[in-house]
Amino acid sequence: MRKRKSNEFLTEVELEFMSELWKLGEGSVRDILASLPTDRKLAYTSCATIMRILDEKGFVDSRKEGKTFIYTPRLTKDTYQSRSLRNLSEKLFDGTPASLVARLVDEYELSDDDLEEMRALLDRRRTDDAT
Amino acid sequence: MTLLNQTFDIYVDLNITLALTALIWLAAKLVLARLGRRLAFNYQLGVLNGLFAVMVLSPVAVAVYQNMQMAQVVPAAGTVNLADYAVSQYLRGGIAIPAEDFQALLGLRSRLTDSVLSFAPGLGMGIVLFLLAGFAYFGSKLIVSIFRLARMLSACHTWRRAGRLQLLLSDSALVPFSARGFRTHFVVIPTELLAKPDDLKLVLKHEFQHLRQGDVTWEIGLEALRPFFFWNPFYYVWKSEVERLRELACDQKVTDATNVDLRSYCMCLLRAAQAGIRRRHRIAGKDRVGNVAAVALIEVQDRVLRRSPAQKLRRRVEALLEKDRLRPHWSFVFLAVLPMIAIVFLSALSIQKPADWTQDRLMLSTIINLERLETINTFGQRPLR
């Protein structure tokens, strides 16, 4: 059995591959290669290596179908988003999510609809907490 | 003479020889620059490494020579000794200071050695504590760096293996680098580079060239000597010259290949620097490998009293654009280096303690005694009006 190397986070290129795999649900190296933008000139072997690393890190599961490995994500995109945000909040915003949100609101030009959606989200959370 | 005395003498000799070797190298560089001749960087690196090996081996060469002299294999007239030369110059009137002061100057090293080895309070003890503290600090720093490097290598993902070479992929490496174990050589590549096949090819060529040049082994050797030479400024001069030349030599060798485009290579260096700086900010402080026992593609970390990474990168690109460097046959280079090796060896030989009392030394001692007698004899005399 291949040795698992624990790493909670993805590098840029790994994230790109995981994003494609999340979209596909499951797929082989060729499926992922095909779903990448056409200007991405990646060698098959490089893609296979990246998928192997994702397997070693425990982000995907692999099974063999004939001669091909089929990869399935082991965690959902939402779970990874939460993990990354928590990490960002802890490391860069001193564990205060409020300042993270404040920076987000300051930096991005949010439309009225976006703000309304956020307000609704907060109201829902407050109602959930109260009950 | 005790073993401790001998060891300390060799240590002092090595430090002096290192300083002299560095000065010889800098002088040779200056002469070449004045003559407008620019030697290819791999030749310069070869000469630099060769001189360093000669310097490190100089105590052995001196010991062998002295033994041969004792066994009368080489004539005694072949002895070169700086102290003896200075005494003969003094007796010929070339040095105009009182005899007693001159004797004190000649005995300075012996007195310092004695005071250090006897832990004499004051200067002797101060020097001992300084050397021990420096050795402990730089030695522990070296060990920590090696452990950190080993931990980083074990956290990498194996990409390929070929004989004694392993290509590893790392999430935390700022830039590609080469390292080695006892038998295995490692080339570590940031995972992101897999997505840039053109850069990957150039980076691998660069790192393989480092391995071919034996740069990692030299780096380990130099770093292992840091705890001993930490106080010697010439060690840092030497190290900086090696670091500069090994990258330039590597760049030159890679771009000499017909299938490597110079512009693409320069752009690859720039992109590697950019990516390294970006990663440096992202993983600040975490799992960072020091500069020990590894040779990186490019420097992205500022270091005290050193040129900034940006300046170094600029110099590398400028050097790559220079053409028509001299590439003589290695035998010519060896012939040109031979006088330099001879000077290093003679310098190492000349700073040895004189083995015996020479005629000149006896004469100097007589002069000192006569001067003392004269002082004593003039006590009873009336001062001249």
What is the rounded CA–CA span in Å between residue B20 and residue B234? 9
Size of chain B in residues: 385
Mean pLDDT taken over chain B: 84
Which structural domain range is residue B57 located in?
A: 1-106+328-371
User: Distance from A9 to chain B by nearest Cα, in Å?
Assistant: 9
Is the pTM for the entire model greater than 0.95? no
Segments of chain B scoring below 70 in pLDDT: 1, 76-79, 282-293, 298-306, 355-356, 379-385
Residue type, B38: R
Contacts of B192 in chain A (CB under 8 A): 11-13
Supply the pLDDT for residue B385.
57
Show me where the domains of chain A are located: 12-73, 77-130
Check: CB of residue B169 under 8 Å from CB of residue A54.
Answer: no
Residue type, A100: L
Check: CB of residue A92 under 8 Å from CB of residue A86.
Answer: no
Q: Provide the CATH topology of domain A12-73.
A: Arc Repressor Mutant, subunit A (1.10.10)
A56-93 pLDDT per residue, tens = 888 999 998 888 999 999 999 999 998 888 888 888 88
Residue B86 lies in a domain: yes
CB-nearest to B194 from A13, A41, A56 is: A13
Residue B119 lies in a domain: no
CB-nearest to A53 from B169, B195, B197 is: B169
B13, two tokens: 């000799």
Does one domain contain both B158 and B95?
no
Alpha-helical runs (H) found in chain B? 3-34, 41-70, 82-91, 99-106, 108-117, 123-155, 197-213, 215-229, 233-256, 262-282, 309-321, 330-350, 359-377
CB-nearest to A42 from B159, B192, B197 is: B197
Cβ separation B191–A46 shorter than 8 A:
no
**Ramachandran angles phi, psi of A110, nearest 5°:** -90, 135
Nearest Cα residue to B179 out of B150, B147, B213, B139: B150
Q: Which helix (H) or strand (E) holds A68?
A: strand A68-73
User: Distance from A34 to chain B by nearest Cα, in Å?
Assistant: 15
B114-139 pLDDT per residue, tens = 888 888 888 889 999 999 999 999 99
Supply the pLDDT for residue A55.
92
Supply the pLDDT for residue B347.
86
B329-341 pLDDT per residue, tens = 888 888 888 888 8
Does one domain contain both B73 and B58?
yes
Supply the pLDDT for residue A19.
93
Does one domain contain both B201 and B342?
no
- Total domain count for chain B? 2
Mutation target vs B (from A10, A17, A49, A52; most B CBs, 10 A cutoff): A49
Across-strand partners of A64?
Answer: A69
Q: Is A41 on the interface with B (CB under 8 A)?
A: yes
Does one domain contain both B3 and B83?
yes
Supply the pLDDT for residue B198.
86
Check: CB of residue B346 under 8 Å from CB of residue B65.
Answer: no
pLDDT band at A124 (very low <50, low <70, confident <90, very high): confident
Examine the pLDDT at A1 and tell me if it is beyond 50. no
User: Distance from B171 to chain A by nearest Cα, in Å?
Assistant: 7
Mean pLDDT taken over chain A: 85
Does one domain contain both B166 and B86?
no
B338-382 pLDDT per residue, tens = 888 888 888 888 888 776 677 888 888 888 888 888 888 776 666
Q: What Å distances lie between residue B384 and B167, B377, B378, B381, CA to CA?
A: 88, 15, 11, 9
Supply the pLDDT for residue A7.
74
